[in-house]
Copies of this chain bind each other. A is one copy, B any other.
Protein backbone atom coordinates (compact mmCIF):
# COMPACT_ATOMS: atom_id res chain seq x y z
CA UNK A 1 0.00 0.00 0.00
CA UNK A 2 1.27 3.47 -0.78
CA UNK A 3 1.92 6.01 1.94
CA UNK A 4 -0.90 8.18 0.59
CA UNK A 5 -3.41 5.30 0.71
CA UNK A 6 -2.38 4.40 4.24
CA UNK A 7 -2.66 8.03 5.28
CA UNK A 8 -6.06 8.58 3.69
CA UNK A 9 -7.42 5.41 5.31
CA UNK A 10 -6.23 6.63 8.69
CA UNK A 11 -7.69 10.07 8.14
CA UNK A 12 -11.07 8.59 7.20
CA UNK A 13 -11.08 6.13 10.09
CA UNK A 14 -10.12 8.72 12.66
CA UNK A 15 -11.95 11.62 11.10
CA UNK A 16 -8.89 13.69 11.80
CA UNK A 17 -6.33 15.47 9.64
CA UNK A 18 -4.38 16.73 12.63
CA UNK A 19 -0.66 16.05 12.96
CA UNK A 20 0.92 16.80 16.33
CA UNK A 21 4.29 18.44 15.98
CA UNK A 22 6.68 17.04 18.56
CA UNK A 23 8.82 20.15 19.08
CA UNK A 24 10.47 19.72 22.46
CA UNK A 25 11.72 23.28 22.67
CA UNK A 26 13.24 23.25 26.13
CA UNK A 27 12.42 26.88 26.92
CA UNK A 28 8.70 26.13 26.57
CA UNK A 29 8.64 23.18 28.95
CA UNK A 30 6.57 23.42 32.13
CA UNK A 31 8.35 25.33 34.84
CA UNK A 32 8.97 22.35 37.11
CA UNK A 33 10.57 20.38 34.28
CA UNK A 34 12.80 23.31 33.36
CA UNK A 35 13.90 23.43 36.97
CA UNK A 36 14.50 19.67 36.93
CA UNK A 37 16.77 20.08 33.87
CA UNK A 38 19.06 22.62 35.53
CA UNK A 39 22.64 21.39 35.63
CA UNK A 40 21.66 17.98 34.32
CA UNK A 41 23.56 15.98 31.68
CA UNK A 42 22.31 15.68 28.11
CA UNK A 43 21.30 12.08 28.85
CA UNK A 44 19.17 13.15 31.77
CA UNK A 45 17.60 16.03 29.83
CA UNK A 46 16.87 13.71 26.91
CA UNK A 47 15.10 11.38 29.33
CA UNK A 48 12.86 14.23 30.53
CA UNK A 49 12.15 15.18 26.89
CA UNK A 50 11.28 11.60 26.05
CA UNK A 51 8.93 11.29 29.01
CA UNK A 52 7.19 14.56 28.18
CA UNK A 53 6.75 13.65 24.51
CA UNK A 54 5.44 10.25 25.59
CA UNK A 55 2.71 12.02 27.56
CA UNK A 56 1.83 14.07 24.49
CA UNK A 57 1.59 10.99 22.29
CA UNK A 58 -0.45 9.06 24.85
CA UNK A 59 -2.74 12.03 25.36
CA UNK A 60 -3.44 12.72 21.70
CA UNK A 61 -3.14 9.56 19.64
CA UNK A 62 -6.86 8.85 19.51
CA UNK A 63 -7.65 12.21 17.94
CA UNK A 64 -4.77 12.81 15.56
CA UNK A 65 -3.61 10.96 12.48
CA UNK A 66 0.09 11.31 13.10
CA UNK A 67 3.04 13.00 14.75
CA UNK A 68 5.77 15.13 13.24
CA UNK A 69 8.90 15.14 15.39
CA UNK A 70 11.04 18.20 14.70
CA UNK A 71 14.49 16.64 14.51
CA UNK A 72 16.34 19.83 15.49
CA UNK A 73 15.23 19.65 19.11
CA UNK A 74 16.41 16.07 19.42
CA UNK A 75 19.66 16.75 17.55
CA UNK A 76 20.28 19.57 20.06
CA UNK A 77 20.82 16.84 22.65
CA UNK A 78 23.31 14.85 20.58
CA UNK A 79 23.38 11.04 20.74
CA UNK A 80 20.93 10.94 23.67
CA UNK A 81 18.52 13.10 21.70
CA UNK A 82 18.55 10.72 18.76
CA UNK A 83 18.05 7.78 21.11
CA UNK A 84 14.96 9.54 22.51
CA UNK A 85 13.71 10.34 19.00
CA UNK A 86 14.00 6.70 17.97
CA UNK A 87 12.05 5.51 21.01
CA UNK A 88 9.30 8.06 20.38
CA UNK A 89 8.96 7.07 16.72
CA UNK A 90 8.57 3.44 17.82
CA UNK A 91 5.96 4.42 20.39
CA UNK A 92 4.00 6.53 17.90
CA UNK A 93 4.07 3.74 15.30
CA UNK A 94 2.87 1.23 17.88
CA UNK A 95 -0.09 3.53 18.57
CA UNK A 96 -1.00 3.43 14.87
CA UNK A 97 0.18 6.97 14.16
CA UNK A 98 1.75 8.09 10.91
CA UNK A 99 5.22 9.51 11.64
CA UNK A 100 6.60 12.39 9.58
CA UNK A 101 10.24 13.13 10.36
CA UNK A 102 10.53 16.90 10.09
CA UNK A 103 14.20 16.92 9.17
CA UNK A 104 14.19 19.25 6.13
CA UNK A 105 17.27 17.44 4.85
CA UNK A 106 18.64 18.37 1.46
CA UNK A 107 21.93 16.99 0.17
CA UNK A 108 23.17 15.09 -2.85
CA UNK A 109 24.06 11.64 -4.12
CA UNK A 110 25.38 9.21 -1.55
CA UNK A 111 24.84 11.81 1.16
CA UNK A 112 21.13 12.14 0.38
CA UNK A 113 21.05 8.35 0.30
CA UNK A 114 22.45 8.16 3.84
CA UNK A 115 19.82 10.63 5.08
CA UNK A 116 17.05 8.73 3.27
CA UNK A 117 18.19 5.38 4.63
CA UNK A 118 18.24 6.78 8.13
CA UNK A 119 14.94 8.65 8.20
CA UNK A 120 12.84 6.29 6.08
CA UNK A 121 14.70 3.03 6.66
CA UNK A 122 13.03 0.43 8.85
CA UNK A 123 13.86 0.51 12.54
CA UNK A 124 13.79 -3.30 12.55
CA UNK A 125 14.98 -4.36 9.09
CA UNK A 126 14.53 -7.99 8.16
CA UNK A 127 17.31 -8.00 5.57
CA UNK A 128 20.35 -7.49 7.78
CA UNK A 129 20.67 -3.83 6.76
CA UNK A 130 21.46 -1.13 9.31
CA UNK A 131 18.39 0.00 11.29
CA UNK A 132 16.98 3.45 10.57
CA UNK A 133 14.58 5.78 12.32
CA UNK A 134 11.59 4.13 10.67
CA UNK A 135 9.52 7.24 9.94
CA UNK A 136 6.71 6.93 7.38
CA UNK A 137 7.64 10.18 5.65
CA UNK A 138 10.19 12.98 5.80
CA UNK A 139 10.26 16.67 4.93
CA UNK A 140 12.87 17.71 2.35
CA UNK A 141 14.47 20.97 1.27
CA UNK A 142 14.67 21.38 -2.52
CA UNK A 143 17.58 23.85 -2.84
CA UNK A 144 19.95 21.26 -4.34
CA UNK A 145 17.43 20.17 -6.96
CA UNK A 146 16.13 16.81 -8.12
CA UNK A 147 19.43 15.10 -7.23
CA UNK A 148 18.64 15.66 -3.59
CA UNK A 149 15.16 14.12 -3.78
CA UNK A 150 15.93 11.00 -5.81
CA UNK A 151 17.38 8.85 -3.01
CA UNK A 152 14.29 9.57 -0.89
CA UNK A 153 11.94 8.90 -3.81
CA UNK A 154 13.26 5.35 -3.99
CA UNK A 155 11.38 4.73 -0.74
CA UNK A 156 8.05 5.76 -2.29
CA UNK A 157 7.78 2.25 -3.67
CA UNK A 158 8.24 0.86 -0.16
CA UNK A 159 5.21 2.63 1.27
CA UNK A 160 7.03 5.75 2.44
CA UNK A 161 6.22 9.38 1.65
CA UNK A 162 8.04 12.69 1.23
CA UNK A 163 6.98 16.29 1.70
CA UNK A 164 9.02 18.83 -0.25
CA UNK A 165 9.18 22.39 1.08
CA UNK A 166 7.37 24.71 -1.30
CA UNK A 167 6.07 27.81 0.48
CA UNK A 168 7.06 27.71 4.13
CA UNK A 169 5.14 29.45 6.92
CA UNK A 170 7.85 31.81 8.24
CA UNK A 171 7.91 35.58 7.66
CA UNK A 172 11.19 35.40 5.71
CA UNK A 173 10.03 32.58 3.45
CA UNK A 174 9.76 35.02 0.57
CA UNK A 175 13.49 35.82 0.53
CA UNK A 176 14.04 33.04 -1.96
CA UNK A 177 10.69 31.35 -2.38
CA UNK A 178 8.78 34.37 -3.69
CA UNK A 179 11.41 35.34 -6.25
CA UNK A 180 9.88 35.35 -9.67
CA UNK A 181 11.45 33.15 -12.25
CA UNK A 182 10.72 32.85 -15.92
CA UNK A 183 9.68 29.58 -17.49
CA UNK A 184 8.43 30.94 -20.75
CA UNK A 185 8.97 34.61 -21.53
CA UNK A 186 5.33 35.52 -20.99
CA UNK A 187 4.97 33.67 -17.73
CA UNK A 188 6.68 34.37 -14.44
CA UNK A 189 6.37 31.94 -11.56
CA UNK A 190 7.86 32.17 -8.09
CA UNK A 191 10.45 29.69 -6.81
CA UNK A 192 7.91 28.01 -4.54
CA UNK A 193 6.07 27.01 -7.70
CA UNK A 194 9.32 25.64 -9.15
CA UNK A 195 9.71 23.59 -5.99
CA UNK A 196 6.13 22.31 -6.26
CA UNK A 197 6.76 21.43 -9.90
CA UNK A 198 9.81 19.46 -8.81
CA UNK A 199 7.56 17.55 -6.40
CA UNK A 200 5.01 17.03 -9.19
CA UNK A 201 7.62 15.67 -11.59
CA UNK A 202 8.66 13.08 -9.01
CA UNK A 203 5.04 12.27 -8.22
CA UNK A 204 4.42 11.67 -11.92
CA UNK A 205 7.11 8.98 -11.99
CA UNK A 206 5.60 6.97 -9.14
CA UNK A 207 2.31 5.21 -8.51
CA UNK A 208 -0.69 7.25 -7.50
CA UNK A 209 -2.55 5.32 -4.80
CA UNK A 210 -6.18 4.18 -4.94
CA UNK A 211 -7.02 7.29 -2.94
CA UNK A 212 -6.09 9.51 -5.89
CA UNK A 213 -3.18 11.17 -4.14
CA UNK A 214 0.55 10.83 -4.63
CA UNK A 215 2.87 9.87 -1.79
CA UNK A 216 4.90 12.92 -2.74
CA UNK A 217 3.50 15.97 -0.98
CA UNK A 218 4.52 19.54 -0.37
CA UNK A 219 4.86 21.75 2.68
CA UNK A 220 2.78 24.91 2.38
CA UNK A 221 2.51 27.45 5.19
CA UNK A 222 -1.10 28.03 6.25
CA UNK A 223 0.01 31.59 6.94
CA UNK A 224 -0.06 32.35 3.19
CA UNK A 225 -3.66 31.72 1.99
CA UNK A 226 -3.26 33.07 -1.55
CA UNK A 227 -0.23 30.91 -2.29
CA UNK A 228 -1.96 27.93 -0.67
CA UNK A 229 -4.94 28.30 -3.02
CA UNK A 230 -2.69 28.82 -6.03
CA UNK A 231 -0.69 25.68 -5.24
CA UNK A 232 -3.85 23.67 -4.58
CA UNK A 233 -5.20 24.58 -8.03
CA UNK A 234 -1.91 23.71 -9.70
CA UNK A 235 -1.33 20.40 -7.91
CA UNK A 236 -4.58 18.58 -7.09
CA UNK A 237 -2.83 15.22 -6.56
CA UNK A 238 -0.24 16.32 -4.00
CA UNK A 239 -0.99 16.07 -0.29
CA UNK A 240 -0.33 19.36 1.49
CA UNK A 241 1.37 19.41 4.87
CA UNK A 242 0.23 22.67 6.45
CA UNK A 243 2.08 24.21 9.38
CA UNK A 244 1.13 27.63 10.68
CA UNK A 245 -2.17 26.96 12.44
CA UNK A 246 -2.42 28.18 16.01
CA UNK A 247 0.67 29.95 17.35
CA UNK A 248 1.55 31.30 13.89
CA UNK A 249 -1.93 32.73 13.36
CA UNK A 250 -3.71 30.74 10.65
CA UNK A 251 -7.16 29.27 11.32
CA UNK A 252 -9.03 26.11 10.33
CA UNK A 253 -11.16 27.97 7.82
CA UNK A 254 -8.00 29.38 6.18
CA UNK A 255 -6.87 25.87 5.27
CA UNK A 256 -10.21 24.38 4.21
CA UNK A 257 -9.43 25.22 0.57
CA UNK A 258 -6.72 22.52 0.65
CA UNK A 259 -9.14 19.68 1.36
CA UNK A 260 -11.29 17.83 -1.17
CA UNK A 261 -14.99 17.10 -0.65
CA UNK A 262 -14.15 13.88 1.18
CA UNK A 263 -11.90 15.59 3.69
CA UNK A 264 -8.69 14.38 2.10
CA UNK A 265 -5.69 16.06 0.51
CA UNK A 266 -4.12 17.88 3.41
CA UNK A 267 -2.70 17.51 6.90
CA UNK A 268 -2.72 20.26 9.47
CA UNK A 269 0.25 20.32 11.78
CA UNK A 270 0.16 22.07 15.14
CA UNK A 271 3.03 21.93 17.58
CA UNK A 272 3.27 24.24 20.52
CA UNK A 273 -0.49 24.85 20.82
CA UNK A 274 -0.84 21.14 21.59
CA UNK A 275 2.49 20.26 23.20
CA UNK A 276 2.55 23.20 25.53
CA UNK A 277 -1.20 23.84 25.72
CA UNK A 278 -1.17 24.80 29.36
CA UNK A 279 2.44 24.33 30.26
CA UNK A 280 2.69 27.80 31.73
CA UNK A 281 -0.29 27.51 34.05
CA UNK A 282 0.71 26.32 37.49
CA UNK A 283 -2.70 25.04 38.41
CA UNK A 284 -2.48 22.39 35.69
CA UNK A 285 1.04 21.23 36.42
CA UNK A 286 1.98 17.60 36.66
CA UNK A 287 2.11 14.83 34.05
CA UNK A 288 -1.60 14.06 34.09
CA UNK A 289 -2.53 17.69 33.56
CA UNK A 290 -0.01 18.13 30.73
CA UNK A 291 -1.32 15.04 28.98
CA UNK A 292 -4.93 16.10 29.40
CA UNK A 293 -4.21 19.63 28.16
CA UNK A 294 -2.59 18.19 25.02
CA UNK A 295 -5.56 15.88 24.53
CA UNK A 296 -8.08 18.71 24.86
CA UNK A 297 -6.12 20.92 22.53
CA UNK A 298 -5.77 18.19 19.86
CA UNK A 299 -9.45 17.35 20.14
CA UNK A 300 -10.45 21.01 19.82
CA UNK A 301 -8.30 21.43 16.73
CA UNK A 302 -9.71 18.26 15.16
CA UNK A 303 -13.27 19.41 15.76
CA UNK A 304 -12.54 22.94 14.63
CA UNK A 305 -11.02 21.57 11.43
CA UNK A 306 -13.86 19.13 10.88
CA UNK A 307 -16.38 21.95 11.03
CA UNK A 308 -14.44 23.67 8.24
CA UNK A 309 -14.07 20.61 5.97
CA UNK A 310 -16.17 17.57 5.20
CA UNK A 311 -15.71 13.80 5.27
CA UNK A 312 -17.54 11.46 3.00
A residues touching B (Cβ–Cβ < 8 Å)? Answer: 23, 25, 27, 38-39, 42, 45, 70, 72-73, 75-80, 82-83, 86, 104-112, 114-115, 117-118, 128, 130-133, 141-148, 165, 168-177, 179-182, 188, 191, 194-195, 198
Contact = CB atoms under 8 A, between A and B. Distances in A.
Nearest to A198: B175
Q: How many copies does the complex hold?
A: 2
B75 A86 contact: no
A221 to B, nearest CB: 10
A82 to B, nearest CB: 4
Given A73-B114, A107-B104, A171 B147 contact: yes
Contacts of A27: 110
B42 A131 contact: yes
27 contacts: A23-B110, A23-B111, A27-B110, A38-B128, A42-B130, A72-B111, A72-B112, A75-B114, A75-B115, A76-B115, A78-B118, A104-B141, A104-B144, A141-B143, A142-B143, A143-B165, A143-B177, A143-B195, A144-B170, A144-B172, A144-B177, A145-B174, A145-B176, A147-B171, A147-B175, A175-B198, A182-B182
A306 B198 CA distance: 41
